[in-house]
Amino acid sequence: MTASLLMLQLLNGLQLGILLFLVAAGLTLVFGVMDFINLAHGAQYMLGAYLAASIGGALGSFWLGLLAALPLSLAFGLALEWLVFRHLYARDHLAQVLATFGVILVIDEGVRQLWGSAPLNVPQPEGFSGGITLMAGLTYPSFRLAIIVAGLAVAALMWLVVERSRLGMLIRAGASNAPMVRALGVDTGRLFLGVIGVGAMLAGFAGAMAGPVFAVVPGMGDQVLILAFVVIVIGGIGSIRGAFIAALAVGLVESLGRAMMPELMRLFLDAAPARQAGAAVASMLVYAVMAAVLAWRPAGLFPAARA
């Protein structure tokens, strides 16, 4: 493998990691602040992709679609909070998992009824149709660079708000001791509603950004959901920093594992079985990494301090 190809694969891994971070950020925020597992986060990601693709398609502009998808995702998230989530905050994780799984079923089926089963066309983002040449004969689409920039921006913004602002202080305080914060005269209900809203918008944003690169199909959220959970668990639940680092790590492991494993397997096997075994090992590599991390640090890399 040449050095330029290796560099390219590192970049691909980084970019996949950043996309995973976009999905995982909302999940870990809600989970960390409110101790609430929202399985429906993946379905909200899917809904964001569908909304952006169909509105963007109707208006003939990807960016308008993205702009429209954000408030709609927010509204949908708030509606879910009002209908379902708020009845579950006081319950254990299992109850939350079960109820939000019910929400997934409804969203999946609803999307199928509304948009049909066929993969959706996504308009190409205007202004990002071209790309840069990183290797002879290969264009690196500039929209992928846009995803990297957007992911870094979201990460920086979240870090600033949560770690450095008064609002972030309240959020962190509300997470560790809600009754005390309430006693100090802060409306924790509104605070939590805000967190859920931001989480929903992040999910929708990630879905909308993923649309032009990946396929917009029914069930696209489930697969991402699992990877996002892997990310937040490796990072330590509730830790934005942990989620960011873990997302990059998972992206790199996914990407490099797929590239290297078949070659690695050739040391032990013939070419044909090596390729297949390599692919099989590559697909379970992230899970092996997660198991190893948890065996070593049972609460993830950066366990958030909790009361």
Partner 1 sequence: MTRLLRPSLLLPLLALAALAAAPFLGFGDRFALTLLSRAMILGMAAVSLSLLVGGAGLASLGHAAMMGIGAYVVAALDLAGITEGAIAFPAAILAAAAFAGITGLVALRTSGVYFIMITLAFGQMLFFTLSALSALGGDDGYTLYGRNTFLGADILTPRLSFHFICLGLLAASWGLCAMLSRSRFGRVLRAARETPLRVEALGFSPFPYRLLAYVIAGGIAGLAGALLANAMEFVSPAVASWPRSAELLFMVVLGGVAQLPGALVGALAFVLLEEGLAHVMSAWKLVFGPLLVLAVIFLPGGLTGGLPWRRRKQERRADA
Partner 2 sequence: MDRRSFLGAGASLLAMPAIIPAARAQSAAVKVAFVATLSGPAAALGVQLRDGWAAGVKHLGGKLGGLPVETLVIDDELKPETALTRVRAALDRDKVDFVVGVVFSNMLQAIFRPVTENETFLVTANAGPSTYAGRGCSPYFFTTAYQNDQPHATMGQVAQDFGYKRVFVLVPNYQAGKDAAAGFRSRFKGEVVDEVYVPLNQLDFANEVAKIAALKPDAVFTFMPGGLGVALVRQYRQAGLADIPFLSTFTVDEATLPAQREAALGFYTAATWAPDFANAQSQRFVQDFMADYNYVPGNYAAQAYDAASMIDSAVKAVGGKLSDKAGLRAAMEKADFTSLRGNFRVGRNHYPVQDFYLCKVVQRPDGKFATSTVRKVLSDDVDPYAGECRMRAT
**Interface positions with partner 2 (CB under 8 A):** 2, 4-5, 8-9, 12, 15-16, 108-109, 112, 116-122, 131, 135-141, 143-144, 212-220, 223-224, 255, 258-259, 262, 272, 275-276, 278-280, 282-283
- Dist CA 203 CA 52 (whole Å): 12
Closer Cβ to partner 2, 9 or 176, answer by number: 9
CA distance 16 to 109: 28
Q: Which does 157 bind (CB under 5 to 8 A by kind): partner 1, partner 2, none?
A: none
Pair 214, 220: CB distance under 8 Å? yes
Least separation in angstroms between residue 117's CB and partner 1 is: 12
Which residues ranging from 75 to 114 are in contact with partner 1 (CB under 8 A)? 84, 87-88, 91, 93-95, 97-99, 101-106, 108-110, 112-113
Pairing status of strand 131-135 against strand 138-141: antiparallel
Amino acid at 304: A
For partner 2, give the closer residue by CB, 81 or 108: 108
Q: Which helix (H) or strand (E) holds 215?
A: none
Closer residue to partner 1 in complex, CB, 106/160:
106
Site residue total, partner 1 (CB under 8 A)? 42
Dist CA 236 CA 140 (whole Å): 33
Residue nearer to partner 1 on the CB measure, 174 or 300:
300
CA distance 148 to 15: 6
- Picking from 101, 115, 98, the residue whose alpha carbon sits closest to that of residue 222 is 101
Q: Is 237 near partner 1 (CB under 8 A)?
A: yes
Q: List beta partners, residue 131.
A: 141
Q: Where are the beta strands (DSSP E) in the chain?
A: 131-135, 138-141
Closer to partner 1 by Cβ: residue 99 or 154: 99
For residue 303, the minimal CB distance to partner 1 (Å) is 9
Which residues of this chain interact with partner 1, rule CB under 8 A? Answer: 37, 84, 87-88, 91, 93-95, 97-99, 101-106, 108-110, 112-113, 226, 229-230, 233, 237, 276-277, 279-280, 283-284, 287-288, 290-291, 294-295, 298-300
